[in-house]
Amino acid sequence: MKTAKDAIKQIGLRIEKRREEFSMGNYQLADMCLVSPTYIAEVEWGARLPSLPVLKRISKALQMPPEEILTGKRAHPVYYADKRTLGRVEKALRFLKPFTFVYINRKN
């Protein structure tokens, strides 16, 4: 049985795999999505779950519907902006959010 943490890691792996298919680095994807490269790395590691606006930008940059990023199931591109589908995506993100874990080691 898959846990929520496993599902979050799978989301990150799907993003990483698709990014690599485009021969794109973290910096390039981060620039396209208006986030930091660290943010993208944390998403790919499964340490952070992207917010819905960031997920939509990642989806557009990787030419992969948000639903497909979350579930791994092929989704038709027409659903990129479908409000009903995005509502389900947002609901899934809200459910998974408490299961994310971020380890930040900062030296001041």
**47-83: per-residue pLDDT in tens?**
999 988 899 899 999 999 888 898 888 766 554 556 7
Tokens of 33: 């999505």
pLDDT, position 99: 66
| Residue span of the structural domain in which 35 resides | 4-98
pLDDT digits (tens, 9 = 90+) for 5-34: 888 899 999 999 999 999 999 999 999 999
Is residue 66 a part of any domain in this protein? Answer: yes
Is residue 62 a part of any domain in this protein? Answer: yes
CA–CA–CA angle 58, 62, 63 (5° rounding): 110
Is residue 105 a part of any domain in this protein? Answer: no
Helices and strands of the chain, counted as H and E runs: 6, 0
CATH number reported for the structural domain that contains residue 40 in this entry: 1.10.260.40
Residue 34 has what DSSP assignment?
T
Residues ≥6 apart with Cβ < 8 Å to 30: 36, 37, 39, 40
Is residue 103 a part of any domain in this protein? Answer: no
Is residue 107 a part of any domain in this protein? Answer: no
pTM flag (> 0.85): no
pLDDT, position 6: 87
Specify the number of domains making up the chain. 1
Residue 80 has what DSSP assignment?
G
Is residue 108 a part of any domain in this protein? Answer: no
